[in-house]
Structure 1
Amino acid sequence: MTTSSADPQIAAALKQISAEKIRANIEKLASFQTRSTLSAQDQASIAAGHGIGAARKWIKSEFERYSRDCGGRLEVKTDSFTEQPADRIPKPTEITNVYAVLKGTDPENAKRVVLVTGHYDSRNSDTLDTTGVAPGANDDASGTAVSLECARVLSRLKFPATIIFLTVAGEEQGLNGSHHFAQMAKSEGWNIEAVLNNDIVGGDRNSQQDPSVVRVFSEGVPSAATDTELKLIRNLGGESDSPSRQIARYVGEVGRTYVVGLKPTLVFRLDRYLRGGDHISFNQQGFAAVRFTEYREDYHHQHQNVRTENGIEYGDVPKFVNFDYVANVSRLNAATLASLASAPAPPDKVRLVTKELENDSTLTWEPSPGSRTDAYEVLWRATTSAEWEHTQPVGNVTKTTLPISKDNVIFAVRAVDKEGHRSLPVVPLPER
C-alpha cells in the first residue's frame, strides 16, 4: 500500500482537535429536545432552545465564533429553501443548511473545493414526530461535531484550495438538504473534488464496537455515469475505480500517515443495507463523495424513542458516544481535507496509449492546472487489489513508459508539489 510523508503543519493542527470540545458540541446539540426537520422554527421555540430552529441558530453562532477567532477568513453562510409535501414531509417545510467557507489563498487553486459534512437534524421512532425527544447524539450530532471541529482547527491555517464545512438538515426526511445543496453546487459550476460525509461516527460504547476502525463507504460505478461511460467501465474493468473510490483510497493513505489508533476500513459499496446518507446526493450530481461510519452500529441507539424496555436502554443519547473516537474520526477528516487543499490539482486528460499490441505501457497527460505541481507519480496495482500497491516518481513530464503490461494492472497518475502534497490519482482512459 502507498504511503506519504507527513506535513508538519497538518500534524500540528491535528493535535489541536479536542475530544472535550467535541463532547460539549454533541451534548449541546442533544439538548434541543428534538432536531426533527419538522420541529418548531418560530422565535419563541428558538428562544426556549427547542427544535431545529434553535439548533440551526447555535450552529451558525459557532461558525461565526470560529470566524472571529481566525480574523474573519471563515465566511459563514446559509442555504434555505422550502420543501414541498412528500412522503416524509406532510406540509411545506423550510429547510436550512448552515456552512462555512475557508477560501483558498492561491488564485490558481481557490476554485477547487473539498467539503466535509454531517446532518444536524434528528429523529426518534417516528420520523413524523415533531415534538418528542430525539437527541440524535450519534445520528448525527457526531457528524455535525466533526464538521464543526474541523472548521475550528483548520480555519486557523491557510490552504491553496477552498474548504467548505457543511451541516445539512432534512437527512432523515429523505436527504432533502444535501440534495438541494448538491444541486446548487452543480448548477453554479462548483469544482468540488471531494465530499467527506460523516454520519453515525460516535463509536457507540457497546462491547462489540471496535474503536480502532472506521468504515469508509464509496460507490464503484458512478451514479451519474452516462451510457457511454458505463460501456467503457464494463469493457475495461473499471468497476472499482470511480472518483469516489479514489477518495476512499486517499483517506486510507492519509490515515496511515497521520492518525495513530484509527484505521480506515474501505467498504466497496455505496452504503449499508437498507440505509443511505448525504454522500448519495452528491454522487447523484456527479461529485465524488464517501461516507464515514462507525465499525459496528447499535440499533437500540438509532431512530428510537428514549426509554428502558425489558432492561434494555433505547435512544440516541450522549452517554453512548465515545468522544475520543469522534476526535480520531475528526483528525482523519481534517488530515484528508488539509492534504487535498494543500495539494496541486490532479493532472488532466490522463490517457493510456493502446495503439498497438505491446508489453510496455505508455501514459500521457496534460499538466495539472496552476503552477504548484513539481512532479508526477504513476501508481499501479493488480486488478484484484483494493488499494494502490506501487508508486513510481516520473519527474515533471507529461509522458512516461513503464515495462509493465497494461493488461495486468490498473494505472493512475497524480501530481505532487515541492512539499510532497499529493493530488487525487486519476485513472487513465484508453487512447488509440
Structure 2
Amino acid sequence: MGSDDTGSQPTRPTRRTFLSASAAATAATAATVAVPALAAPAAADALPAGPGGPARAQRPDRELRELLRQVDPRRIEATVRRLAAFGTRHTLSSQDDPQRGIGAARDWIYARLQEYAATSAGRMTVELQSYVQQPASRIPTATRITNVVATLRGQTSPNRTYVVTGHYDSRVTDVMDAISDSPGADDDASGVAVVLELARLMATRPTSATVVFAAVAAEEQGLYGSAYLAQQLKGAGVDVQGMFSDDIVGSSTADDGTRDPHAVRLFAEGVPTAETPAEATTRQSVGGENDSPSRQLARFVRDVAENDATGMRVRVIYRRDRYLRGSDHISFLREGWPAARFTEPNEDFAHQHQDVRVQDGHQFGDLPEFCDFAYIARVARVNGAALWSLAQAPGTPKGAIIVTTDLTNNTTLRWQRGDEPGLAGYEVVWRETTAAEWQRVIPVGDVTEVSIDLSKDNVFFGIRAVGHNNLRSPVAFPRPGA
C-alpha cells in the first residue's frame, strides 16, 4: 500500500482551479483537468490555501515492512566485531596477511557479499574494484586501493542506479600510522555493517532499478576509494539518481553522555558543487538554493523512513558535512549526483580515532564496546526504507522547467516523460517559499506539461513521478526556461 497524499477526500472547494495539460510523449492531444482547491486548513495545520491536497508521508507497504523487520542486530554486531578483530584496517597496512590488515578485511567482506549474491538468482554480482594510487596526499608510496562492490541489477530500469557505501578502512590519531591497532568499530565498521545487512536482505528481492552496495577504501586518506567508484560509474554512463554514505552510525551517545537513540543525522548540501557559477547564481536569484537534488533526496528519505517501521527520526542538516570532516558522498557530489551522508546524532570524540589504550581506568579507542547494535539496526532500516522505495518507484523526472517567458499569474511546468514500464503519471507539489517541506500535492496524470492557476512568483513548485504501485519518486525542482 503506497502513500495517501492525493487529497482523495477534499473539502468543499473555495475556488475552481483549471489545469491545462499536454499529453505524454505517446499521446497526440492535450488534456484539460479540473482540480478543486481545498478550503483553507485550520491554523494548526500550517498549510497554505490553494489547489491540491495536503502532502502526506509515503507509508511503508507490506513488502517493505517485512524487509525492515528482518534487519538483524545480531548479524550487525557480528560484522562490527569481526572487522574490529583485524587489528587495523589502515589503507597502508598489509594487503596479504590473512589475519591482520586491510587485505584480510577486504577478503572477508568479499566472501560475505558473494554468499549474499548466491541467493539472488543471478541478479547480484560482486567484484573487487582495484586501482593503484600513485603517491599523493596521505599516500606516501604507490598503493593499491580496492573497493568491494556488490551490484543488484534492476529488472526494468537497470541503468537507473542508487548507491550506498560504508568505508572499511580505519585509522588512529596519526593518520599515517599503519601499524598501531585501529579497530574502527564506529568509524566505520558500523557503516559497512549497514551496507552488508542491506545487501543480504535485498539480494533475495527483485528491484526495478539497480542498487550498488559498496565497502569503499581509503576514505581516511582522502576519499580515494569512493572517488574511483564514482568515476567508474560516470565513465560507464550509469544514471546515478541517489547515493548515501553511512559513516559513523554506531552509537547515539555523545562524550557528555547525551543520548538520542531514535534519531540519525542526514547531511545534504545546497547549491550543487557541480553547477557552474552562472547556474548557481540563477538558482539563487529565482529561489531554489534550498532545493538542490541532494535536499530533495533528503526530503524523500524523511518522507519514506520516518515511521513506525524504522522507529527513527531523520534530522536533515542543510550542510554538505560537519566542520573539519568529509565523507564519501562528496565524491558523488563532485560528479553532479544527488548524495547525502548518514551519521549518528551525537559523537563521542574521546574515542574516535584514538589509539587503543587505558587511561585513568577508562578504555579509549574505537572499540565495539562503544557501539549500540540495536541503534545501527535502526539506521539500517532507515537506509533500507529509502533504498527500497527509490528502487521500486519511478525515477526522478528529468528536464523539469518552469516557464518564465510570460508575465502571468498562472504557472506552466514542463518535464520529460520517463520510460519506466511501471510509470502511472505525475504529481505537482508546492509550498510557501518560507516552508522547508512540500505542503500540497496536485495529481496531474500521465502528462508532460501543466498550467496551474497559482502564481510562480509566490510559491515553489516541484514535480514527482508516481508508479502503478503507488510509490513516488523524489521531487524534481524546475529550472527557469521557455
Q: TM range, normalised to the smaller chain?
A: over 0.9
Question: Which residue of the partner structure matches residue 334 of structure 1?
Answer: 384
Shift of 1:311: 4.2
Question: Contact 1:204/1:320 (CA < 8 Å) preserved in 2?
Answer: no
Moved more, 420-429 or 361-370: 361-370
Distance in 2 (alpha carbons) for counterparts of 1:381 and 1:328: 30
2:219 aligned with 1:165, yes or no? no
CA distance in 2, matches of 1:66, 1:298: 33
Alignment match of 1:39 (pick from 89, 93, 96): 93
- Cα distance, 1:415 vs. partner? 0.6
Instruction: State the partner residue of 2:146.
Output: 96
Q: Where do residues 40-189 of structure 1 align in structure 2 (5 Å cutoff)?
A: 40-42=94-96, 45-46=97-98, 49-106=99-156, 109-189=157-237
- Deviates further, 233-242 or 159-168: 233-242
Q: 1:300 to 1:217 in 2, by over 3 A?
A: same
1:14 paired with 2:68, answer yes
Which amino acid in 2 is paired with 1:24?
A
Per-residue CA distance 1:210-262 (angstroms, 9 max, x = gap) = 11110000110111111331221122122111111111111110113464421
| Aligned partner letter, 1:163 | V
Map Cα deviations across residues 251-287 of structure 1 (whole Å, 9 max, x no partner): 1101134644210000000000110000001101111
Letter aligned with residue 112 of structure 2: E
Give the Cα separation in 1 of the matches to 2:452 and 2:137.
Answer: 55
State which of 424, 437, 440 in structure 2 corresponds to 1:390.
440
**Residues in 1 aligned to 2:430 and 2:178: alpha-carbon distance in whole angstroms:** 52
* 8 A contact 2:81–2:185 mirrored in 1: yes
Paired residue for 2:39?
Answer: none
Deviation at 1:204, TM superposition (A): 4.5
The structure number with the bigger radius of gyration is: 2
Deviation at 1:68, TM superposition (A): 1.5
Cα pair 1:347 1:369 within 8 Å, conserved: no
The SS at the match of 2:58 is coil
- Bigger mean CA deviation after superposition, 422-431 or 11-20: 422-431
What is the letter of the counterpart of residue 251 of structure 1?
Answer: V
Cα distance in 2 for residues equivalent to 1:371 and 1:65: 31
Look up the SS of the partner of 1:266 in the other structure. Answer: strand
1:225 maps onto 2:275 in alignment: yes
Q: Give yes or no for contact 2:69–2:309 (8 Å, CA) kept in 1.
A: no
Residues in 2 aligned to 1:5 and 1:32: alpha-carbon distance in whole angstroms: 40
Partner AA of 1:418 in structure 2? H
CA distance in 1, matches of 2:249, 2:420: 36
Which deviates more from structure 2 when the two are superposed, residues 132-141 or residues 344-353?
Answer: 344-353
Could you say which residue in structure 1 is the equivalent of 2:24? none
1:261/1:89 CA distance change after superposition, 3 Å: same
Q: Which amino acid aligns with 1:294?
A: E
Provide the residue aligned with 2:40 in structure 1.
Answer: none
1:198 lines up with 2:246 in the alignment: yes
CA distance in 2, matches of 1:359, 1:375: 25
Distance 1:428 1:339, change over 3 A: same
Report the equivalent of 1:303. 353
Which stretches in structure 2 are left out of the alignment for 5+ residues? 1-54
Q: Residues 256-275 of structure 1 correspond to what in structure 2 (within 5 A)?
A: 256-257=306-307, 259-275=309-325
For residue 335 of structure 1, give the secondary structure of its aligned residue in structure 2.
Answer: helix
C-alpha displacement of 1:147: 0.6
**1:322-401 to 2 correspondence within 5 Å?**
322-401=372-451
SS in 2 for 1:201: coil
CA distance, structure 2, for counterparts of residue 405 and residue 73 of structure 1: 47
- When the two chains are superposed, the root-mean-square deviation of aligned CA atoms in Å is 1.4
Q: Give the match's secondary structure for 2:64.
A: helix
Partner of 2:22: none
Q: Distance in 1 between matches of 2:402 and 2:178?
A: 55
1:210 pairs, out of 232, 242, 260, with: 260
Report the residue type matching 1:7 in the other structure.
D
CA distance in 2: counterparts of 1:57 and 1:4, whole angstroms? 39
Distance 1:205 1:71 in 2: 40
Partner of 2:59: 5
- Between the aligned partners of 2:323 and 2:398, the Cα distance in structure 1 is 35
User: 1:103 Cα deviation (Å)?
Assistant: 0.5
Q: Aligned to 2:326, what secondary structure does the other structure show? A: coil
Give the secondary-structure state (helix, strand or coil) at the position aligned to 1:81. strand
Q: Counterpart amino acid of 2:433? A: T
The whole-number CA distance in structure 1 between the counterparts of 2:328 and 2:371 is 21
Q: Distance in 2 between matches of 1:70 and 1:105?
A: 12
SS in 2 for 1:33: coil
Compare 374-383 and 139-148 and name the one that shifted more: 374-383
| Letter paired with 1:218 | A
Contact 2:218/2:225 (8 A) holds in 1? yes
Cα 1:91–1:81 change in 2 (3 A) is: same
Q: Report what 2:48 is aligned to.
A: none
Q: Is the 8 A contact 1:258 1:332 kept in 2?
A: no
Q: Distance in 1 between matches of 2:274 and 2:463?
A: 23
Q: Any idea what SS the aligned residue of 1:111 has? A: strand
